[in-house]
Structures are given as C-alpha cells and as structure tokens.
Chains A and B, each alone.
Chain A
Amino acid sequence: MSIVLAGVAKSHGPVRALSDIDVTIERNTLVALLGPSGCGKSTLLRIIAGFDHADAGLIRIDGSDVSNVPARKRGIGFVAQHYALFPHMTVAQNVGFALDVRGTQREQTARRVAELLALVRLDGYGARLPRELSGGQRQRVALARALAAEPSILLLDEPFAALDLHVRRELRAWLRELHERTHVTTILVTHDADEAMELADRIVLLEDGRIVQTGTPSELYAAPQTPFAMRFFGNANLLQGADHLAVYVRPHEFVVDDRPFAGSLPGVVRRVAALGWRVALDVYTDDGQTVNAEISDVEAQRLEPRPGSRIFLSPRHAHSFAAAS
C-alpha cells in the first residue's frame, strides 16, 4: 500500500520533534528513514503505526486518511527495537497471536504459524519461550509475528541495532530476500547509513525533525544536497574553498603521489593506518589543513608512506555547498 505523509508535525512539550514532513512511499517498496539519534525518525514511525498522534498534517494509506484510525485497525505490522515478544507465550503462541485475536480456527492458526516459522527459518522452534532464543532468532520471531496479521505495511524500528555485527549482516541480506518474496511495503528506521544503502529502495534522510533529502541510495551518496548529507554517508574532509563555498572531499577521492603534480597540495604524513585493502593517511598540508585520505593497499606499496613522509594530493572529485549551511 502507498503511504502519503503531508505536513506532519509533532512536538514533545516545547521540543519540536518533527516539522513539515512530506513524503510519499510507493507500494511494495522498502524505504529507510535514516538519521542520527534524536532526529525524529522513530517518532515518525510511531505516528504511522498509530502509537503517537501528529499535532498537524495528514497520513494517507492508499488514499484514505488514517489519522483517526486506531493502531489495531490500521493493518500495519510493527517490529519494535527490542522486539517486545510476549515473554509468557511460546514462539508459536507469539506468532499466532494476531490470528488468535481474530478468532481464527485452531488448526488453521497452527498451519499458518508453521508456514511463518518456516519462512523465517525457525521450523521446530514453536514450543520454545522467547528467552530461550538468541537475539537474531527473537528478531525473526518478531517479524513472523508481525507478518501473521498479513499487514499491508510493515514498520521496523532499528531492527538490527541490538544484534552482533555478523548476525546483523546475515539478517540484512535475509530481510532483503524476504522483502523480495513478500513485497510488503516496508519502512525501516535506522541510524546506520550502510544498512539503509544495502536494504532500501529509497532513503529519507532526516535531521532535527526535518527531511533533508529523499532519493535512492546512490543519489544520496553521489549528490548530497547539504554538508550534513555528505558527512552522513561516510567521512568527508572540509577544505578551504573559494568565497562562500564549503568544499568537501571524501577520503578515497584524492589523487595521492610522492612527487608534486599539477594542482597538488603539498603536505606531510602524520599517521598511517592499514585498514586491510585500504590504507588511511592523516596528512598535514603546508597551508595548515589536516586532511584524511585513503589509498588502496597497492598504492601504499608503491608510495610507502610513513609518518614524516612528503606527500602531494589533489581532489579527484569534490562537492561544493554554499557556505551558509
């Protein structure tokens, strides 16, 4: 189902949590609400779910305004950050809850629960209690439970934040696969730009309760419209530019050599950190700027940079913004 938010605003007392939120989320897509903590992304998700009310604005699901529809009638599945599995119910009872509440026949519920547990690769775990599962397994149970209600929209609040790095990677790939199979319109809240880029069809970037930029992951990465957006997708060096321009360069977008070349900035290497296939250099330029540059391990073998080495660099690609922002 498509979701349209128009002019949504929300305050917590004197604090503006969200202002002027206008977004359209197309049906069957996976969209990430991305931003640092406190940017309002979770509040926005809770408003869509019906747990919070917006002070102003409209929320339309497939054309109809749901502002006054209670959470349980919105047909929205919600997976909370810590999953909120009912601790006194078994995995099967958790997954079957939505069907039970509707009065679905017992055999039918059991069959559907088995299907869902297979879908999230937890066949045979039905009789366990949530506390007997690992974090990744709980996360999958929470997803199965939300999907049991056959929601038209699925909302995920920081679904991987509480998990180990390697479990997180595995689950990301799995979630994307699940989305390809179910095609449920999904909104994912995350503070992790990598996660958003890997999973989402489109990203909505938020800062201080406002939408900064909306687009595909590659659009946001390649053409950030503000320094904030630039910095949110990886490191960026702020260089002294011409009047009223802030010039940003990503660390890997420097040409680096041990001899001067046309337009190059001379400097001295301060620190070298080998990060595997790339090597990070902290360079102190002769005009007094500290620059972080990254070169490949192959380049590093050729240049052999050490603290104190003379080095010359020039941006291959730069992003300029009006200095006012």
Chain B
Amino acid sequence: MRRRDPIGGRPLLLGTTLVLVAAVVILPLASLVLALHGTTPATFAGAVLTPRALAALRLTVGSALGASIVDVFAGLYVAWVLARYRFPGRAALDALIDIPFALPPSVTGIALAVLYGAHGAFGAWLEAHGWHVANTQLGIVVALTFVAFPFVVRTVQEPLAQLPAAFSEAAASLGAGEWTTFWRVTLPLLGPALLTAFTLALARTLGEYGSVIFIAGNIPGRTEIAPLLIVTRLEEYDYAGAAAIAVVLLAVSFAMLLAINGFQRRMTLARTTL
C-alpha cells in the first residue's frame, strides 16, 4: 500500500520543478554539448589548444579568481562596518552597494573605461604614477571586482549581523585581544558564508562580458577574455570553435564550483553553529 502524503500535491510539484530545471538549466547546457556535433577530437583540440584560446581561458580564470579574492576581503570589510557600526549615511551606503547589481554591464563597462582610460580622471593620475589599468589585465580585474562586489557584501552581511556577541565576549573574557578574536573566533565562524560569497563572485566573474570588454582593450593573446573570443568565433560562423571554448569554460567553472562545494560541506559539518 502506498502511504498517503499528508500534505498532498507532491507528484505535481516535483514534476513541474523537474520540468522547470530541465528547461532553464539542463536544456541550454545540453544544446551546448550538441553544438559540438561533428567535431572530432582533432578539431576540438585545434579550436582550444591555440595560443590565442589558451591565453583567453587563462586570462579569464585568473582574473575571475583574482577579482573574487579581492572582493572577499573588501566585501567582508564593508559588511563588517555596516553590521557593527551605526553612523550617519549608513542607510545610503548600504543602498549604494547594490548598484553594480542594477547597472547594465555595458553601462558599467563604459563608466569604468571613461574613469580608468588614459585620459580619464582617475586613469590619467594612475598613468602618471606608473599604473596602467586600461587595456591591461588589471583593468579586467577592476571591472570584475566591481561587478561581483555586492554578492560578497550581501552574502556575508547577514551571518555577520546574526553572529552572537557572546562569542567575542567570551574570547575577550579569556584574554584575547580584538585581532586574536577576529582571526581565531569570528573569521572561522564566518568561513562557510565567506566561501559561499567567493563561489558566487567566481560564478559571476567567469562569464562576465559586457563590463569587461570596454576597459580590456581586447588585444588577442593578451587582454582578450574567453567570452569575447567565443563571440568572435560566432561572428566568424565558427560554431564548433565557439562551442569548444565554451565547453572548456563550462568544465572549468563546474570543476571549481564542485571543489568549493565539497570543501564547504566538510567545513559546515565541523562548524555547525550552536
């Protein structure tokens, strides 16, 4: 005998959920792999193992990792200030953080290009001091950092606000100074949230296109990101070539997300908050 579901509606809800996930996530991914149809290992390698494609992939992954790491530190810092202190203009600052969420990537791209360009207000000053931002990898990292920043702040802010003061008070009464308390108590307790924030930032930055291409200069082999190369290949009607690079990018991001997830699960298991 089948037991009756006390709440009801389970088969229907489960079914529609599966269909939704399939349509939104699985179908596009599957079609990407299908686009490789007719590609032989030789042509696949020919598309991916070119110096230009390899440089683009390396640049994309490296810049995304760099920007995500910068964002984790900067985001934690800002979230800390917002969670711990009350000051005039706090609400406005809090609202400002969401702007990268709201801006269309191309608007972000143009704004950054104007600001950091060799003739831009900030760019000219930086150039004078020997810092080249526009048309370099640094420019790409700057754009990615901007774009992913709110993910980190918003992910860390809430757990930080919820962290009971009793932990830092206990540390203080045991003789720990503020830095010791931060490194040995607060930071480890925020570990899972910081890792989630890092994952979100990484996922966002790996595929970022619009905000990057204006500041990057897009010099093949040097400042050309993988998503742009995919677009270029498509414009050349080289669908198999585009799909090959896309599949590699997909595999790399998938592998990184899986690794972080596994690490996070281990960490969360050990640190379930009491």
Contact = CB atoms under 8 A, between A and B. Distances in A.
Interface of A: 49-51, 70-74, 76-78, 80, 82-88, 97-98, 101-102, 129-131, 138, 145-146, 148-149
Interface residues of B, number: 24
Contact of A70 (B170, B172, B271, B273): B172
Interface string B257-274: 000000000000011111
Nearest to A100: B184
Contact of B169 (A80, A98, A145): A80
A87 B271 contact: yes
A77 B173 contact: yes
Task: Give me the 10 closest cross-chain CB pairs, A-B, nearest first.
Answer: A84-B166, A98-B174, A78-B173, A84-B170, A88-B271, A71-B172, A80-B166, A72-B172, A88-B188, A101-B176
A149 B171 CA distance: 11
Contacts of A51: 165, 169, 172
Given A72-B177, A76-B173, A102-B175, 20 more contacts: A51-B172, A71-B172, A74-B173, A77-B174, A78-B173, A80-B166, A82-B166, A84-B164, A86-B188, A86-B189, A87-B273, A87-B274, A88-B271, A97-B171, A97-B176, A98-B175, A101-B174, A101-B176, A101-B180, A145-B170
20 contacts: A49-B173, A50-B173, A71-B169, A71-B172, A72-B173, A72-B176, A73-B175, A76-B173, A82-B274, A84-B164, A84-B167, A85-B274, A86-B167, A86-B188, A86-B189, A98-B174, A98-B175, A101-B180, A129-B270, A149-B173
B contact face: mostly helix, strand, loop, or mixed: helix
A9 B271 CA distance: 39
B189 A88 contact: yes
B185 interface: yes
Interface string B163-204: 011110111111111001000110011010000000000000
Contact of B274 (A76, A102, A130): A130
Interface of B: 164-167, 169-177, 180, 184-185, 188-189, 191, 270-274
Contacts of B273: 87
A85 B164 CA distance: 11
B198 to A, nearest CB: 18
Contacts of B176: 72, 97, 101
B246 to A, nearest CB: 40
A130 B184 CA distance: 16
A131 B272 contact: yes
Contacts of B272: 87, 131
B35 to A, nearest CB: 46
A78 B169 contact: yes
Contact of A72 (B164, B165, B166, B175): B175
A88 B177 CA distance: 19
A63 to B, nearest CB: 21
A73 B169 CA distance: 12
B274 A146 contact: no
A71 B173 contact: yes
A84 B189 contact: no
Max chain A CB contacts within 10 Å: which of B177, B180, B273, B274?
A: B274
A104 B172 CA distance: 17
A101 B164 CA distance: 21
Contact of A146 (B174, B189, B270): B174
B185 A86 contact: yes
